[in-house]
Amino acid sequence: MRSRLLLVTTLLAGAISVAGCGNLPSLSQGNPQPTASPGASSGGAAPPAAQPTPAAAQPIQAPANTPAQTIPTAPQTGGAPSTPATGDGAPAIPLPQIQANLAQLESYRITVVSKMNGKTTDGKTIESQMTYTQALHRPSKTGYTLVVENRQGAPSTQSELYNVGDMLYIYQRQDGKELCQPRMMAGMGDMLRGTADAMTDPLTGTAQLVNRGETVNGVLTDRYTLDQETINQFGATVEKADLWVARDGGYPVKYDLTINVTSNATGWAAMLGGGAPVSEGTIVYNWSLEDINKTTITLPSACSGQTVGVDLPLPAGTQVDMMMPNTTMGKVNAGIDSVLTFFKTEYPKLGYELTDEYGDAQNGYILNFKKGADEVMVQFSTMSDGSVQITLTRG
């Protein structure tokens, strides 16, 4: 668990860093406008903090609401009672396979709120909150990701992403305008969809059944509290670790965790503390699953109709790894001399004149082509695995 938000931040940083390629606006930094938080669950659990919602846009929409699917009930072992039970004397049972069960759902929205209150080693107060929202519609391979960070004494930051298949859209609202930066990255869609599953990185160990039949987020659940062996995996003092699991399907519906931090031993504390050495504090983590098999995702109008890449031929067998506005990147298993021959032979057939040529077979080549006002630069060189990496840039 302590690595999950670090994983999410790393993945999103990698995706967002692509925006730095080319002359494109950076992500905005401003104060997000949250709406009301999801309804509180039963069982006395604290509700998650307010969460921002996706932009209300209309043009491209995932398929209509999918009817809730029936998923086999996760097996209950260890003699769990069929009537409500309390934690006193309740049996210990293995944790359900929650990650695999979550992956069976067709669509959903996850909201994760992490709050930290504490002090640095020099006595300064730390107050920070990270809100992570991800909506998924698996049949259409569509997703939405929003990360909002609020830290005392620092501007609020917001990172907002949409993905359709491997198309990634970095979206922002700035000075009353909507801006969208499209990208295509091979495997990006799978990575972002996998991030949601990684938020439920499975723990090993057992849990105590606390109560059966609690309705949370409209789902009938059983509530568990993690036992000490499982809690020890967090590497910190845990005050509270409650998990609500769907009775039908075995997927997590809600997860509340409170950790006391006494040193900067965990990367989680360092991240929420902005990198400052932490002497003491409390981290409250609330995970919530909603809109199960009812989620739809609408791509903002600023993102629709945008094209990426350079629409020009590449050597046969080229694998395109990334496309950005006016840029295409890929690699091909071929000799560099044959790649050079391809461009110098095929592009003139399309009316492009070779105006400049630089480099050699050892260091790679740069070729500049021109057709009227259209200018294209081709760069390619041999990689360590023997393949040739190619970059086309227009303009």
Q: Measure the CA–CA gap between 226 and 98, rounded to whole angstroms.
A: 14
Q: Measure the CA–CA gap between 189 and 167, rounded to whole angstroms.
A: 7
Q: What is the mean pLDDT of the chain?
A: 75
The CA-based dihedral angle spanning residues 65, 66, 70, 72, taken in that order and rounded to the nearest 10 degrees: -110
**Interior/surface letters 332-353, b for 16+ CB within 10 angstroms, e for the rest:** bebebeebbebbeeebeeeebe
- Please indicate whether residue 64 or residue 153 has the higher confidence score (pLDDT): 153
Q: Measure the CA–CA gap between 48 and 284, rounded to whole angstroms.
A: 10
pLDDT at res. 33: 31
- Please indicate whether residue 60 or residue 118 has the higher confidence score (pLDDT): 118
**Residue 196 is inside which H or E element, if any?**
helix 188-198
Highest mean predicted confidence (pLDDT) among 43-57, 128-142, 277-291: 128-142
pLDDT at res. 227: 72
Residue 175, Cβ neighbours under 10 Å: how many?
7
**Range of lowest pLDDT (201-210, 265-274, 304-313, 338-347):** 265-274
Task: With a cut of 70, say whether residue 344 has pLDDT above it.
Answer: yes
**Range of lowest pLDDT (210-224, 276-290, 368-382):** 276-290
pLDDT at res. 360: 96
* pLDDT (average), residues 182-195: 77
pLDDT at res. 236: 65
**Range of lowest pLDDT (62-66, 144-148, 221-225, 316-320):** 62-66
State the pTM of this model: 0.67
* pLDDT (average), residues 198-203: 55
Task: With a cut of 70, say whether residue 229 has pLDDT above it.
Answer: no
Q: 124 with 275: CB under 8 angstroms? A: no
- Please indicate whether residue 192 or residue 109 has the higher confidence score (pLDDT): 109
pLDDT at res. 64: 38
Task: With a cut of 60, say whether residue 155 has pLDDT above it.
Answer: yes
Model confidence pLDDT, tens digit, residues 300-310: 999 987 788 99
Q: Return the biggest CA–CA distance within the chain.
A: 82
SS3 174: strand
Model confidence pLDDT, tens digit, residues 361-373: 999 999 999 999 9
Nearest to 116 by CA among 168, 66, 85, 151: 151
- Please indicate whether residue 140 or residue 262 has the higher confidence score (pLDDT): 140
- Please indicate whether residue 190 or residue 106 has the higher confidence score (pLDDT): 106
pLDDT at res. 12: 46
pLDDT at res. 203: 54
* pLDDT (average), residues 203-211: 77
Q: What percent of the chain has pLDDT over 90?
A: 39
**Range of lowest pLDDT (197-201, 242-246, 272-276):** 197-201
Model confidence pLDDT, tens digit, residues 28-56: 222 233 233 333 333 333 333 333 333 33
- Please indicate whether residue 136 or residue 29 has the higher confidence score (pLDDT): 136
Highest mean predicted confidence (pLDDT) among 90-94, 97-101, 278-282, 343-347: 343-347
- Please indicate whether residue 85 or residue 332 has the higher confidence score (pLDDT): 332
Q: What Rg, from alpha-carbon coordinates, does the chain have?
A: 25
Separation of first and last alpha carbons in the chain: 46
Residues in the chain, total: 395
